Structure 1
Amino acid sequence: MSDEHSIDPDDGVTGAAEYVLGVLSLQQRRAFEARLIREPALRSEVEFWERKLAPLADEVRPVEPPAQAWRNIEAVVDQRTTRKPRALWDSLPFWRWAAVGSAAVAAASIALVVIRTPVQPSSQRLVARLDVSGGQLGFVAAVDPGGTGLTIVPASTANVTQRVLELWLVAPNDKPRSLGLIDAGRAIHIRLSPDTIRSIGADATLAVSVEPPGGSPTGQPTGPVIANGKLTNL
């Protein structure tokens, strides 16, 4: 695997994708939302990933809750209503609702700041949908507006025990070029070398292969290609 590319999981672009996916911890989410107030570019990044990842919800099948679930809820409610009333200040629900009210006020304040701060429209971007076997969505990838990096987000979990996933750029009439190792469980941001930047275009293809630990030893895919898709202008 080429070592000219660096992967930075803490980059703001990756954080935007993980924020939209809802995989950040509570502490990380609060820190990220604090940045959203003061960074218009970051808000634009979140809006981009919201638009790009929204179709994923259409592929989730609704699940009916079991009949016993409602009976369990009723039993808990009945049990609570028979307990001895407590003073309002000693009531845990009171403090919970107070916290919710405070959070609502804070959210309204944040929304007001966001609405009042103008956001510049983002420039055209290259994106790719990488499908796995059967046409199922495997990954979503997007090139940064400046073209200096790429974020790839897994849409499904790949079983690659004792193996790794490697991302490749395949330009027309060129050999596959390694973009680095990616994670099957979270978004990854990859910084691109100048040579790679010159090769990226709407006619190029992104592919994911399964490789031994450390990546391909030959600089070319050695394992099966499990997902691929063409870059297109958004």
Structure 2
Amino acid sequence: MNLLQLKNNPSLLEKLASEYVLGSLRGGARRRFELWLKQDAALLQVVRQWESHLLPMAEFAPKAQPSAQVWPAIEKQLGLSRQKDPWAYWRSWGNLREDLAFWRGLGLFSSTIALVLVTVLLSRQADQAQVQTSYIASLADDKAQAVAIITGDTRRGQLQVRMVAAQNIAADKSLELWAVGKDGKVKSLGLLADNGSMTLKMPAGMTADNVPLLAVTLEPKGGSGNPEKPSGPIIFKGNWIQI
């Protein structure tokens, strides 16, 4: 596959971009994708949009204390052993401080670690004796700003909704979450709080293949009168993907 073929396949382009940001795109495929990023500004913009959708998840990750072996291992990899020269670390750090490529790499490394940590947290409740599949969607507004993170756990049959930013909703209005099927049919998943977190029931068969998109509409107080037809406008939406 070449870059032109990729751009002519929007669904594959979105899939590869999301996997690249999550870090699950590896080996030769990742190197080829990075080469395309240098060649095409539109592809880079798609990646930036996925970063804006997924990076807010890092704020839900708890603080973790690194083990005592972490820093010695980093020093060893960078050749900064203080046993040979106690000042070598600081001299090298001064050089690194002026190295723009180093800081870019450090930023990418930090973002990747945060995303990996969130993925682990989302799946750590899995019971090894049972099969579990997890899903996630980052809902964004018309300005591509992340508004809510929704995760799904098939074993528990639950949807966890976390609002990234509180929404100012009028007292006579409600936010309603919808599953948009591959066939275009929609189904209400329930009403959302305008801030904080909440849990909803996850319908059976709500896979990324059957339900590629989640959307939130602004409805009259109490939601749409028809669970299969929204009455208000779509204000947030995002792809439902398996992780």
TM-score (structure 1 length as normaliser): 0.46
The structure with more radius of gyration: 1
TM-score (structure 2 length as normaliser): 0.44
Higher relative contact order (CA 8 A, sep 6+): 1
